[in-house]
Amino acid sequence: MKNKVRALYIGKFQPFHKGHLECIKKILNEVDELIIAVGSAQYSHTLENPFTAGERMDMIRLALEENSIDAKKFWIVAIPDVGTHSIWVAHLKSLCPSFSIVYTNNSLVKILFEENGFKVREIPLFDRKKFSATEVRRRIISNEPWEELVPPSVAKFIKDIKGDQRLRELFKKDIV
Amino acid sequence: MKNKVRALYIGKFQPFHKGHLECIKKILNEVDELIIAVGSAQYSHTLENPFTAGERMDMIRLALEENSIDAKKFWIVAIPDVGTHSIWVAHLKSLCPSFSIVYTNNSLVKILFEENGFKVREIPLFDRKKFSATEVRRRIISNEPWEELVPPSVAKFIKDIKGDQRLRELFKKDIV
Amino acid sequence: MKNKVRALYIGKFQPFHKGHLECIKKILNEVDELIIAVGSAQYSHTLENPFTAGERMDMIRLALEENSIDAKKFWIVAIPDVGTHSIWVAHLKSLCPSFSIVYTNNSLVKILFEENGFKVREIPLFDRKKFSATEVRRRIISNEPWEELVPPSVAKFIKDIKGDQRLRELFKKDIV
Amino acid sequence: MKNKVRALYIGKFQPFHKGHLECIKKILNEVDELIIAVGSAQYSHTLENPFTAGERMDMIRLALEENSIDAKKFWIVAIPDVGTHSIWVAHLKSLCPSFSIVYTNNSLVKILFEENGFKVREIPLFDRKKFSATEVRRRIISNEPWEELVPPSVAKFIKDIKGDQRLRELFKKDIV
Amino acid sequence: MKNKVRALYIGKFQPFHKGHLECIKKILNEVDELIIAVGSAQYSHTLENPFTAGERMDMIRLALEENSIDAKKFWIVAIPDVGTHSIWVAHLKSLCPSFSIVYTNNSLVKILFEENGFKVREIPLFDRKKFSATEVRRRIISNEPWEELVPPSVAKFIKDIKGDQRLRELFKKDIV
Amino acid sequence: MKNKVRALYIGKFQPFHKGHLECIKKILNEVDELIIAVGSAQYSHTLENPFTAGERMDMIRLALEENSIDAKKFWIVAIPDVGTHSIWVAHLKSLCPSFSIVYTNNSLVKILFEENGFKVREIPLFDRKKFSATEVRRRIISNEPWEELVPPSVAKFIKDIKGDQRLRELFKKDIV
């Protein structure tokens, strides 16, 4: 383990899309192993967070297998929010295998890890406007084609669990 | 118990109004017993949630007694929110006597119960624009007549505990 | 409400037995209405706390109906533990309709309510050695006759939900 | 202790500014000892709540020492929010030395303490538009001069811990 | 996914030993994929639970790699305890990819999953007296040879993170 | 602040006794300022933890004033337990002004702070057998003279709040 470089990449993956996939591919060119941390793990069944942590873990593994990414190169872990930023890094560390580098473009995450002595690297962008989870959810709700934004295996998974239907029903709020 | 049909009706009842009362009467025509679940039980003393769970329980029982609804036909239970939708049904079930049917018009509640194998029925509407808790609170805050929207016993109760005054003070936020 | 005297009686009711029933009957001779608070509501599926709050609520209502106690005279509410004794009374008050008297023989409960300005009364004893929830659970586990210690409707309920079997399985801990 | 009058003054102090200092000076003319309660203690690293409770405690003590206020006259305590208003006073009391008077201009705090039998007094105002924590944070973010709004020792402390820089980085949200 | 059979195996793995490894090998002969759930994930630094969830995840993966078990065949997930048994299955499900079979010899786990409609299978035993985490911890504390009870990679890992030393220091409780 | 050396001393102080006082005096010979952290702050009204955090804070300040220890030299802060050892140091740090040294004889506290990069020093002993909080509580319960073990101002305070009586009542558990 001493010689392996292990990094952390944290996201909400609501849902996992092609932009996430590209990031992971690029990061895996720079490090030996990647911990993919599914953040805000306790939230689901809302417009912003429609999928459970478990469903998101299923999506990520399907997409990485579909892209022939070696399962030995990544971990998928769920990290519930704790509400208190000052303890979040200690909380996350206790739930993850050890790592030395953090990839993020979020300034809060950057500040918190840097205050705890971690190296933080920027994630290379990948057509962010188009490939965003917000856009995927917007398209699902308004019945526009959304499948092209996510890996094919993820599109299939979302339909299998009726996740698209769940999101559209949540949007209605009141049935009648 | 085997032959009795017991249903669940969940609401926030901030405060309990005539619309709620009509719903309960109609549901009691369809089932043997009704569990009236006071949701978001931990919240009180806010503009959206002025009353404690206990105060709301008092209101409901006063109104049902006033309307000669047999106390053997209903239960009043308090259900605190848990923040995590995926465990909410298990949480609610553990705090309620057993039931088989759920009455709701809220699509989140509907999805969560259906994913847990419950039958969900729509609640018949009752002049919803007029009889809403939001409208009652709005009228109390702006000193308009609100008493006609709630059962007389509830209006008296709210005044007895100075609940109308509490709501108006909360609205001011800063005293000076 | 002003003239009604409402009291609180808190217990764990794991399970509800004939001693509890006698207490409630006696208290109802002294006050107008009784709130029966199911304490440690979040615990279940342990040797000390085999039943969920909901199951215990079902037991209590069955027993009181069986004994023709008027449903208008009592409330059954679930109170989760909070872990912090100094806030427990405030927590309990927020989840109960208002009350002015507390019945208890537990010195912690007595101290906490007295420090919060409540009148506390002792519960008249009723052959405590025999009628204790600990004894009921012990007999269930060791396959001795336990049914005589609880009201008939409660014995039937426990068997219907296979609660006796659950307790015996919990006792085994490891299956093989 | 019996003869000493001890009061409570609760604020978020994000950050501690000259308005807070003037309030404390005036209150200390009216009472013997003051508990300065740092509310919402668990929050930090957000735009509304940039500083940890510990950092805010440091600020307050520096400012009071700088103004030669006798350390025997005040306490500085951290009070995390609990989310449930109905238990907040009991929670706060358990974390503070005893007190009999509360100073506040916030109507929620006033209602909660009055419902718990405390005397509540208004805080004398001190050019509130200018001296507000919101204004200090706004100026830091937009690189306007903010130092004049806080005691010199607090300005120095914020710079020493790079708190101004932290706030500006939080504002950016996404780095690229 | 439809045709793959995925099972769950839950343990505390304090630490992961050869008995655990044999179980996993046997289960993987019966199912396609296995979720290895690290229970009581929030506990560490105690005599019963010396290692963090993250450290236990590292141990498990090292041992499985060492034994050439295909990383595509297993998941390692951390499951914090929730304190309330009646919601534990819902909680665990939300943090895991979907599964249909549960392997356990613990009767509480068996009851909870069966009450939630899961198939539960017994785990084949493997010299349980000798290969138990309690025995490993006992030997570490009393400076007896413990390395033979765990896979070589786990023994090395524990020494690398000074986990053996941590356990012996925890045992002392008070230094002087 | 840069040149001041600030240390942390954590205890439960149930109650504060002469041994604690001697420790504090000795530590104050070695450092400029001391943070006295009242641990397990949320617990009270039990045999092990009879006093609230607020009551313990009152005791400590009374004793230090009685011994003419300059109020500028110490802080008294309340630290609730979090249940998860791996986040405890981050939690404590967020609730305390900054510090660089920790005084403790407890090996868990020592390990946790050392793993977080703090210097840990042993506390000089002071007739530990005699001056222990366990012994003070034991004597109060069995009506033996306990006052000599605590500073006079603390003995007076405990009697004023009827803390000795509370402890004896808690010991009885059931009143009749």
| ipTM for this model | 0.94
Q: How many CB pairs below 8 A link A and B?
A: 38
Decide the pairing of beta strands E33-38 and E101-103: unpaired
Interface membership of B90 toward E (CB under 8 Å): yes
pLDDT at F173 over 90: no
Interface membership of E91 toward B (CB under 8 Å): yes
For the four alpha carbons of B143, B148, B154 and B159, in that order, the dihedral sign comes to positive
- Please give the structure tokens belonging to residue B102: 């759920």
Model pLDDT, residue A1 = 46
A173: alpha, beta or left, given left = phi > 0 and alpha = psi -120 to 50?
A: left
Q: In 3D, which of C29, C35, C43 has the Cα closest to residue C9? A: C35
Name which of C42, C166, C176 is nearest E105 (Cβ-Cβ). C176
Interface membership of A47 toward D (CB under 8 Å): no
pLDDT at F38 over 90: yes
Sheet with A74-78, side-by-side order of all strands? A74-78, A33-38, A6-11, A101-103, A119-121
Interface membership of D65 toward F (CB under 8 Å): yes
Model pLDDT, residue E1 = 47
Question: What confidence category does residue C1 fall into, taking pLDDT thresholds of 50, 70 and 90?
Answer: very low
Model pLDDT, residue D119 = 94
Rounded to a whole number of angstroms, the distance from the CA of D76 to the nearest CA of chain F is 8
pLDDT tens digit at each of 176 positions of chain A: 457 999 999 999 999 999 999 999 999 999 999 999 999 999 999 999 999 999 999 999 999 999 999 999 999 999 999 999 999 999 999 999 999 999 999 999 999 999 999 999 998 777 777 899 999 999 999 999 999 999 999 999 999 999 999 999 999 876 55
Model pLDDT, residue F124 = 76
Name which of E87, E93, E94 is nearest B94 (Cβ-Cβ). E87
DSSP string over C6-63: EEEEEE--TT--HHHHHHHHHHHHH-SEEEEEE-STT--SSSS--S-HHHHHHHHHHH
| Fold for the domain defined by C6-172 | Rossmann fold (3.40.50)
B72 contacts C65? CB cut-off 8 A: yes
Answering whether pTM is above 0.90, one says: yes
Interface membership of F174 toward C (CB under 8 Å): yes
Q: How many CB pairs below 8 A link C and F?
A: 38
Rounded to a whole number of angstroms, the distance from the CA of F45 to the nearest CA of chain C is 6
Which amino acid is present at D110?
Answer: K
Mean pLDDT of F52-68: 98
CA distance readout (Å), D89 to B77, D120, F17:
25, 13, 29
Rounded to a whole number of angstroms, the distance from the CA of B118 to the nearest CA of chain C is 17
pLDDT digits 0-9 by tens, E12-24? 999 999 999 999 9
F176 contacts C110? CB cut-off 8 A: no
Mean pLDDT of D12-29: 96
Q: Compute the mean pLDDT over every residue in chain D, rounded to the nearest whole number.
A: 94
Asked whether at least 3 C-beta pairs link C and F within 8 Å, the reply is: yes
Model pLDDT, residue D129 = 77
Q: Regarding predicted confidence, which is higher, E175 or D153?
A: D153
D112 contacts B52? CB cut-off 8 A: no
Asked whether at least 3 C-beta pairs link B and F within 8 Å, the reply is: no
Model pLDDT, residue E174 = 67
Cβ-based contacts of D2 with chain F (< 8 Å): 160
Cβ-based contacts of F83 with chain C (< 8 Å): none
Interface membership of C90 toward D (CB under 8 Å): yes
Question: What confidence category does residue C7 fall into, taking pLDDT thresholds of 50, 70 and 90?
Answer: very high
Q: Regarding predicted confidence, which is higher, E105 or F63?
A: F63
Rounded to a whole number of angstroms, the distance from the CA of B110 to the nearest CA of chain A is 9
Model pLDDT, residue C126 = 74
pLDDT at E123 over 90: no
Q: Is the peptide bond before E15 cis (omega within 30 degrees of 0)?
A: yes
For the four alpha carbons of B24, B25, B31 and B35, in that order, the dihedral sign comes to positive
Q: Compute the mean pLDDT over every residue in chain F, rounded to the nearest whole number.
A: 94
Q: What is the distance between the terminal CA atoms of chain C, rounded to a whole angstrom?
A: 58
Model pLDDT, residue F53 = 98
- Please give the structure tokens belonging to residue A79: 């990290």
How many Cβ atoms from other residues are within 10 Å of residue C29's Cβ?
Answer: 7
Interface membership of E110 toward C (CB under 8 Å): yes
Cβ-based contacts of B106 with chain A (< 8 Å): 173-175
Question: What confidence category does residue F1 fall into, taking pLDDT thresholds of 50, 70 and 90?
Answer: very low
Model pLDDT, residue E33 = 97
**E135 alpha-carbon distance from chain centroid:** 15
CA distance readout (Å), B77 to B39, B92, C4, D24:
9, 10, 21, 45
Candidates F87, F89, F95, F116: best to mutate against A (most CBs of A within 10 A) is F87
Candidates B43, B89, B94, B160: best to mutate against C (most CBs of C within 10 A) is B94
pLDDT at E175 over 50: yes
pLDDT at C71 over 80: yes
Model pLDDT, residue A123 = 87
Model pLDDT, residue A43 = 97
Name which of B84, B86, B90 is nearest E86 (Cβ-Cβ). B90
Using CB atoms, list chains with 3+ pairs below 8 Å to chain E: A, B, C, F
Distance CA E137, CA E143 (A): 10
pLDDT > 90 in chain D, percent? 90
F169 contacts C122? CB cut-off 8 A: no
Question: What confidence category does residue D128 fall into, taking pLDDT thresholds of 50, 70 and 90?
Answer: confident
Interface membership of F83 toward E (CB under 8 Å): yes
Question: What confidence category does residue B175 fall into, taking pLDDT thresholds of 50, 70 and 90?
Answer: low
How many Cβ atoms from other residues are within 10 Å of residue E66's Cβ?
Answer: 14
**F88 alpha-carbon distance from chain centroid:** 17
Model pLDDT, residue F174 = 67
Cβ-based contacts of E86 with chain C (< 8 Å): 42, 44-45, 52
CB A169 within 8 A of CB A50: no
Model pLDDT, residue E3 = 74
pLDDT at F110 over 60: yes
Residue A157: Cβ-neighbour burial (10 angstroms; 0-12, 13-18, 19+)? buried
D87 contacts C91? CB cut-off 8 A: yes
pLDDT digits 0-9 by tens, B111-151? 999 999 999 999 877 777 789 999 999 999 999 999 999 99
Model pLDDT, residue F2 = 55
Q: In 3D, which of A27, A37, A43, A28 has the Cα closest to residue A96? A: A37
F84 contacts A93? CB cut-off 8 A: no
pLDDT digits 0-9 by tens, D40-99? 999 999 999 999 999 999 999 999 999 999 999 999 999 999 999 999 999 999 999 999
pLDDT at C137 over 60: yes
Interface membership of E143 toward B (CB under 8 Å): no
Distance CA F146, CA F168 (A): 13
pLDDT at B64 over 90: yes
Distance CA C158, CA C165 (A): 9
Q: Give the residue on E whose Cα is nearest the Cα of F125.
A: E176
* 3-class DSSP assignment, residue E25: helix
Model pLDDT, residue F129 = 77
pLDDT at B21 over 60: yes
* 3-class DSSP assignment, residue C107: helix
E157 contacts A58? CB cut-off 8 A: no
Cβ-based contacts of E86 with chain B (< 8 Å): 90-91, 93-94
Q: In 3D, which of D76, D95, D100, D96 has the Cα closest to residue D11? A: D76
CB C42 within 8 A of CB E83: yes
How many Cβ atoms from other residues are within 10 Å of residue C116's Cβ?
Answer: 15
Model pLDDT, residue D175 = 58
